[in-house]
């Protein structure tokens, strides 16, 4: 029982240190309202979202490297259950990051559609 507790604590400590190594990127603070934004504001938002997407990709790559490092460091000392927990933890972090990235992109795309519709209505 003590060895199981020690293994769980060790896994928790490695997961905690793994969490500290990869910095979760900050999403753009504001997506402009397509009804009132200028072209420059929309372009700036588009660039910010592209940069955020690149940062999310770097973050998920970091999580993969971190996971590989934890597996290599644990070697044969890690049980299958510990490996599954590390994989589960990595997958949860990656899924959350990708979901947020997609939500940010979707919000921007919606505002771009509104902006374009406003531009078309002003020309016609």
CB 97 within 8 A of CB 61: no
Q: Which domain holds residue 48?
A: 2-123
- Tell me what pLDDT residue 17 has: 46
For 19, the token pair is 């969490």
- At residue 20, the pLDDT reads 56
DSSP 30-53: ----TTT--HHHHHHHHHHHHHHH
Q: What is the pLDDT along the chain (124 residues), one digit of tens a residue?
A: 444 434 443 444 444 444 458 999 999 999 999 999 999 999 999 999 999 999 999 999 999 999 999 999 988 899 999 999 999 999 999 999 999 999 999 999 999 999 999 999 988 7
Res 123: pLDDT: 85
What pLDDT, on a 0 to 100 scale, did the predictor assign at position 75? 83
90 close to 63: Cβ distance less than 8 angstroms? yes
Number of domains the chain contains:
1
| Tokens matching residue 46 | 């588009």
């Amino acid at each position: 029982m003590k060895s199981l507790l020690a293994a769980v604590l060790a896994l928790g400590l490695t997961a905690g240190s793994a969490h500290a190594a990869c910095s979760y990127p900050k999403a753009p603070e504001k997506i402009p309202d397509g009804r009132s934004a200028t072209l420059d504001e929309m372009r700036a938002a588009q660039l910010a979202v592209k940069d955020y997407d690149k940062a999310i990709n770097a973050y998920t790559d970091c999580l993969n490297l971190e996971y590989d490092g934890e597996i290599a460091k644990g070697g044969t000392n890690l049980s299958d259950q510990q490996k599954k927990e590390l994989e589960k933890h990595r997958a949860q972090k990656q899924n959350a990051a990708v979901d947020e990235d997609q939500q940010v992109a979707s919000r921007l795309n919606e505002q771009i559609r509104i902006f374009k519709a406003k531009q078309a209505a002003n020309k016609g």
